[in-house]
Copies of this chain bind each other. A is one copy, B any other.
Amino acid sequence: MNNNKHSHIIILEPSLIIAEGLVYLINKQSKSFEFSIINSLEKIDLITTRKKTELIIINPSYIQNNTKSFNNIKNDYHQIKWIGLIYAYFEQELLDKLDDIITISDTIEVIYGKINKLLNQENTCNKTNSPEILSDREIDVLKLLAVGLTNKEIADKLTISIHTVISHRKNISQKTGIKSVSGLTIYAVLQKIISTDSLSL
């Protein structure tokens, strides 16, 4: 168990609902943490200069568009542990950059356990087995396909032409050997490219 008084945790999460809910629940488990809720990677610097931060709980979307900044911060502050807070689908490659992952469906016990585990360990790198057959863009397309969008809708969403979407789908089907939408959907679920959390339970 973590005995440090007032370990400092930064929460980087766009939804205030989620951020405050997390703070509330962790506080209910233990008063030994101090929190800063922020909404951009850049603000990490401001906070860490004033206060030693031990853990950052981050919505991976902040990394998605700022991989460079993220890597810089990670290099600057080796001691900081990173936990991904996820409630949508993210590429496995993205999640691999983090030390651990929690989801909004996790019980507070699980979350609290993971936090303490990270704060009390020196180093544990995790590597995962991602098939990596599909390219980034193909995964983008597959994600949208698997939630029911048509080619046209996917094109609009990704701001590319429908021809490109069709092209990607051709490649996806070739690479995976799966032609049907239903097959690709199940593939996406099994590969954790999409989540059924939203539908289950």
* Residues in A lying within 8 Å of B, measured CB to CB: 14-22, 24-25, 59, 61-62, 64-65, 87-91, 103-105, 107-108, 111, 145-149, 176-187, 189-190, 195-201
Contacts and interface: CB of A to CB of B under 8 A. Distances in A.
Contacts of A181: 148, 180-182, 185
Nearest to A108: B16
A184 to B, nearest CB: 8
Contacts of A105: 14-15
Given A185-B181, A200-B61, A21 B16 contact: yes
A83 to B, nearest CB: 13
Copies of this chain, tallied across the complex: 2
Given A21-B24, A185-B182, A199-B183, A15 B89 contact: no
A33 B148 CA distance: 37
A20 B15 contact: no
Contacts of A22: 17, 21
Closest 10 CB pairs of A and B: A21-B21, A148-B180, A88-B198, A15-B104, A17-B21, A182-B185, A20-B21, A181-B181, A89-B147, A185-B185
A190 B16 CA distance: 26
A43 to B, nearest CB: 14
Given A145-B182, A181-B181, A199-B186, A20 B24 contact: yes
21 contacts: A14-B105, A14-B201, A15-B18, A16-B107, A61-B197, A64-B199, A65-B200, A88-B197, A148-B180, A148-B182, A178-B199, A181-B182, A181-B185, A182-B184, A185-B185, A186-B196, A186-B200, A187-B199, A187-B201, A190-B196, A190-B200
